[in-house]
Structure 1
Amino acid sequence: MLEILRHTPSWVYIVFTAILYLGLSACFSQRLEIRRILYLPAVFIVLSVYGLIMGQTSSFLVPLSWVGGFAVATGGMYYLTLARRHRYSRDGDYLVAPGDPGILIVSMFFFAVKFWFGYTAATRPEWTAMPLYPISDNLCSGLVVGFFGGRGLAQWSIAKKRTPEELVAPNGA
């Protein structure tokens, strides 16, 4: 195991630290700036689609698996996020999202799975030639992007539906 960590590129540790920070911060109630809610999901979508295009696969199932994972996760997270209790800051410029350790758990799970795909590609390149490998990898990528995309989309739609009486949050937040 220590050998795996020694040969891991340094950028992976940076990504891990960023995901860990975002996941830990999501465990607590957050003030989300309404105009920035969709930034992170947009970055994930751009990077994931770029990776999908650069994969240069001839099978239509690979992009289809990404789209399927994206659609399922986006829809699921959209409705799960809508079910959570969000409120607004007094000035109305922030959406106050409740803390959720599920974000940390799911983020770490997806990181571990994507790390495994990268490790496998580096140590067993013959596996990447199997048809199920790129399909599974891109399905996982679609799920990750959809997870954050659905959450961001739901928070954005909550923010856009606000009414004047909702601008003052209960408990003085």
Structure 2
Amino acid sequence: MRPQRGRSGHFAADRWRRQDGVSRPRPAFRRRVVAAARPARHSATHRHRTPASRPSHTRSCTMLIQIVLHTPGWVWGLFAALIAVGLSQVRDRALSPLRIAILPLAMVALSLSGVLTAFGHFPLALGGWAAGLGIALTFARSLVAVRGARWLADSQTVHVPGSWLPLALIVALFMIKYAAGVNLAMHPALATDATFAATCSLAYGLFSGLFLARGLGLRAVASQRQGVAAA
């Protein structure tokens, strides 16, 4: 006899009929083959995502962690020292004209060394750094002027009120230097990329220029008071 069909038109799932009328179960190996041919509802590809299918933010976090872990120790030491210098600017201080000039000049030197280290004597990079410095000195001097600074004739120093601005500028300069170093390490060709070099160098010049503009404002306070006293 021919195999019986169910209502759906398929062969009966559980029985086969032989010519002698005796029925027997479907062979076990046939059941296994059919089961293996059917796609698993919850396969391994559904339970576990491959690295390529992971969300982009997960890959970004993993890359960021690897970058931080592979950063040389001296970089974090430098960052800690810069943070300490910035925190020292938070409290009120009495500074001599010489001490007023030290920190701004150091920040300018740090930014210029960052440009030279990253891009060498690339004219566009040096021009971007000079442009940023000039913009800060020309247009931002009033923005970073120290309110409440005054000359102390007895000690020949300038009273400088505490401010968080120096710390913010220091952190910004460090982050620019760190980001530029990471990008250049991952993509060395950026060292000759005009857009990247100009952007980084402009940022270097702007932030160090703000530091220099603030220092020049404090020096002006000292110079004016010293001139009045001499007259």
- Normalising by structure 2, what TM-score? 0.61
Distance verdict in 2 for CA 1:129–1:19, change over 3 Å = same
Higher relative contact order (CA 8 A, sep 6+): 1
* 8 Å Cα contact 2:93/2:162 also seen in 1: yes
Q: How far 1:62 moved relative to its partner?
A: 2.0
Task: Tell me the secondary structure at the aligned position of residue 64 of structure 1.
Answer: helix
Task: Name 1:121's counterpart in structure 2.
Answer: 184
Q: How far 1:49 moved relative to its partner?
A: 3.9
Task: Name 2:162's counterpart in structure 1.
Answer: 99
Task: Name 1:18's counterpart in structure 2.
Answer: 81
Match for 1:42: what amino acid?
L
Task: Name 1:28's counterpart in structure 2.
Answer: 91
Q: 1:47-58 counterparts in 2 under 5 A?
A: 47-53=110-116, 55-58=119-122
Deviations 1:121-150 (A, max 9, x none): 112223333211111121122123212211
Q: How far 1:81 moved relative to its partner?
A: 4.1
**Distance in 1 between residues matched to 2:145 and 2:169, nearest whole Å:** 18
Q: Which runs of 4+ in 1 moved over 6 A?
A: none
Task: Name 1:170's counterpart in structure 2.
Answer: none
Residue of 139, 146, 167 corresponding to 2:202 = 139
Q: How many residues align?
A: 163
* 8 Å Cα contact 1:74/1:151 also seen in 2: no
**Distance in 2 between residues matched to 1:127 and 1:49, nearest whole Å:** 18
Task: Name 2:29's counterpart in structure 1.
Answer: none
Deviates more, 1:15-24 or 1:83-92: 83-92
**Distance in 1 between residues matched to 2:175 and 2:113, nearest whole Å:** 21
* 8 Å Cα contact 2:83/2:167 also seen in 1: yes
Instruction: Work out the percentage of aligned pairs sharing the same amino acid.
Output: 28
Unaligned runs of 5+ in 1: 165-173
Q: How far 1:5 moved relative to its partner?
A: 2.0
Residue of 72, 84, 90 corresponding to 1:9 = 72
Match for 2:120: what amino acid?
Q
Task: Name 2:151's counterpart in structure 1.
Answer: 88
Unaligned runs of 5+ in 2: 1-63
**Distance in 2 between residues matched to 1:119 and 1:45, nearest whole Å:** 21
* 8 Å Cα contact 1:114/1:140 also seen in 2: no
* 8 Å Cα contact 1:32/1:95 also seen in 2: yes
* 8 Å Cα contact 2:148/2:161 also seen in 1: yes
Larger radius of gyration: 2
- Normalising by structure 1, what TM-score? 0.79
- 2:127 is aligned with 1:64: yes
